A and B are shown apart, each in its own frame.
Chain A
Amino acid sequence: MTCPLLFAFLLAAVDRPVIDLSGGKVQPVPMAVAPALGTPEAGAAVEAVLSQDFDRSGLFRLLDPASFLAAADEPLSGFNYGPWQSVGAQALVKLSCEAPGAEVKCDMRLYDAARGQELLHGTYAAPRPALRLLAHRFGDDVVRYFTREPGVFQTRIAWVRESEPGKQVVASDWDGYAPLPLTAATINLLPSWSPDGKSIAFSSFREGTGAHLFQVDVATQKIRPLLLTGDFATGASWSPDGTRLVYSSSQNDNTDVYLAQADGSGAKRLTDSRGIDISASFSPDGKRIAFVSDRAGTPQIYTMAVDGSDVRRLTFQGNYNQEPAWSPKGDLIAFSGRDEHRVFDLYTVALDGGKVTRLTQNQGTNEKPAWAPNGRYLLFSSTRTGKRQIWMTQPDGSGQRQVTNEKGGASDPAWGPLAK
């Protein structure tokens, strides 16, 4: 009896050479979206939106439909996986849409083509005008399946449209579609979504007395003043629970960070340095605030407790770091920094250890990072194509995509909350 056990132990104790492998190529999952079945018009529209969502997400690499070997009318289920495996698909999306009246109804499925398994199966319905939303909903379900995190296809973003008459705050779908102007084209800047997604705070010169804070209701486009105190009040950022705002205000020629209630009342100064303290942004747990200060000679990123105590400097590289944005996961702060070539680019700094990572390089001026609510993407403005436009990137700098294509340019992006 001892012999087999002894043998097993000797086997377990065997010394093997060890090879450490790291630095695997991070690549999207090869995905095929099969031609939609059912009502051609509705199916093709849903398929197009889905394909675009998956492609822009950077999570999937869409295979060219021209390479598909399966028949275009292949049924939704009970098909042969072989032709899909042959073209290299690991994920396969199939859908069938019907639009008998004012409503579109789609049966949509996700398969693991490599293993021949159905992974998701659902029926999605929406009024015809909301057809894009239907595709976004299934897309978010697919993303959640793969990443165990919510997708952003149903979210909205805000940005500033730059035109001859001025700058107006605009809200659009996450991919820049359906832009909806929320303000007139006076000078309106720095939009910031409330956590419930119903309103946007922004800075505006509309009163003619310097920049102050206003709030616009996204559904009604009704604007109301939020903070008209001081020489100026600008750069509002909401606390995660939506009860408070931080902003910068100049009073008696000293610019500091202030904290106020969500309606603008009860303002309290948080910083009191001789330098300029601006661009405040809440941490996702609402306990700390990131901001920019030149108290040490050059603008750098700092954090402090929400009562203004426990101030800590976070960046020590570079001589002009600005616009901090705290990641929803709380581990990184994105910022724009000016390098030795005097060009602003995007960086992240780790809260734990302070490691700075560069996201953009040699592609125009890149500024104003804004996190997606799931922390997987950042919006930013870039001049790489000439006019300033909104772009998106993944937090490691990969998958950079243009979001807006505005004639006069676009800037100051802000990403809205997740769809409920």
Chain B
Amino acid sequence: MIAGAPRSLLAPRKTMPALPALGLAVLLHLLVLVAAFWLPRLFDRARPPRKPIIAHMVALGRPRDPHLLPRKESPPPAAASAPHSLPAPSTKAAPTAPAKHEPTRRELMERAIARAAGRADPDAKEAPDPERAGSATGSPEGTATSAEEGDAYFTAVHDAILEHYIVPSVISERERLYLTASVIAWIGSDGRILRHEFQVKSGNAFFDQALERAIQQAALPAPPADLARSLRDNGVVLNFRP
């Protein structure tokens, strides 16, 4: 072969040894994976347009003197249990509770929007404790002394799931303090929960079963058009605490 003549593309070339090539390939793959993981964070992707849920509502009441003993956190029982006649044990079981009115999607949305607008829930039935700590602009259903802004749709989702969120009393109060679980739920355009998956289980089978029941029984409103695709494809994370 004449030196300096153009080299044929078909001519054999000097190849890289197999081991360094494999190492280089692995390194490149790793670099791609690391980039895939970190790049979105580096470029600070825009957060979802919706803010998370209202966690608490302001309770209706007056601020309480911190030197006084507290009031009950929940309303007292409506009526004391009937005295138990001794010594004959009762064989009668407690009658089942009457069926509760299931709110329609429209009602849920209206309720959520009313709350977001700072108006009291028209469905509120319970008379507030006149000595309850809270704010003069609070809601009779409020549970906290301060509130955050929230999104109407996610408020409706929150309320619909909360309606069925029942923590079994077999879980002790002490254990309830530490139980947490995280579930991803994918929501269809009609509000149906398409599927759900535990991101983190609580470690207590009764609690996890109760969460699944709440998700399955909740009747969610249809999401707004601008959220529908994201909720169907990416889902929403439900973080549960007792």
Taking beta carbons and an 8 Å cutoff, which residues of A are in contact with B? 1-2, 5-6, 9-10, 13-29, 33, 44, 47-49, 51-52, 55, 58-65, 67, 87-88, 114, 143, 146-147, 149, 175-179, 316-318, 329, 331, 337, 339-340, 345, 347, 356-363, 375-376, 384-385, 389, 394-405
Contact = CB atoms under 8 A, between A and B. Distances in A.
Interface residues of B, number: 73
13 contacts: A6-B33, A27-B166, A27-B167, A29-B206, A51-B90, A59-B170, A65-B93, A87-B96, A337-B69, A361-B72, A361-B76, A398-B169, A403-B84
Contact of B29 (A2, A13, A17, A356): A2
A358 B53 contact: no
Q: Say whether chain B's binding surface is mostly helix, strand, loop, or mixed.
A: loop
A29 B170 CA distance: 7
Contacts of A55: 93-94
Interface in B1-57: 29, 32-33, 36-37, 40-41, 45, 47-48, 50, 52-53, 55
Given A146-B206, A347-B69, A18 B236 contact: yes
B237 interface: yes
B70 A357 contact: yes
A361 B71 contact: yes
A20 B55 contact: yes
B120 interface: no
B94 A62 contact: yes
A23 B32 contact: no
B166 A21 contact: no
A52 B89 contact: yes
A177 B87 contact: yes
A333 to B, nearest CB: 14
Contact of B33 (A5, A16, A178, A400): A5
Contacts of A6: 32-33, 36
B210 interface: yes
A16 B94 contact: no
A229 to B, nearest CB: 36
Contacts of B89: 48-49, 52, 177
B167 A63 contact: no
Interface string B216-242: 000000000000001100111111111
B127 interface: no
B174 interface: yes
Q: Which 4 pairs across A and B sit closest by C-beta, in order of nearness?
A: A62-B93, A24-B165, A146-B170, A318-B69
Nearest to A14: B234
A358 B70 contact: yes
B219 to A, nearest CB: 16
Nearest to B227: A17
A272 B1 CA distance: 111
Contact of A149 (B47, B85, B172): B172
Given A360-B72, A362-B76, A398-B77, 10 more contacts: A17-B50, A17-B154, A21-B239, A22-B242, A23-B143, A33-B93, A63-B93, A357-B70, A384-B80, A400-B80
A14 B236 CA distance: 11
B170 A25 contact: no
A63 B97 CA distance: 9
Nearest to B32: A2
Contacts of B170: 28-29, 59-60, 143, 146-147
Nearest to A54: B93
B125 interface: no
Contact of B37 (A9, A27, A360): A9
A280 B63 CA distance: 34
Contacts of B171: 147
A362 B184 CA distance: 43
Nearest to B162: A21
A248 to B, nearest CB: 24
Contacts of A389: 83
Contacts of B158: 19, 21
A178 B76 contact: no
Given A24-B165, A362-B76, A19 B154 contact: yes
Contacts of B86: 176-177, 179, 404-405
Interface in B58-77: 66-74, 76-77
A218 B29 CA distance: 77
A405 B235 CA distance: 56
Contact of B72 (A28, A340, A397): A397
Contacts of A23: 143, 162, 165
A30 to B, nearest CB: 8
Contact of A10 (B36, B91, B157, B176): B36
B52 A19 contact: yes
A366 to B, nearest CB: 11
Contacts of A21: 158, 161-162, 165, 238-241
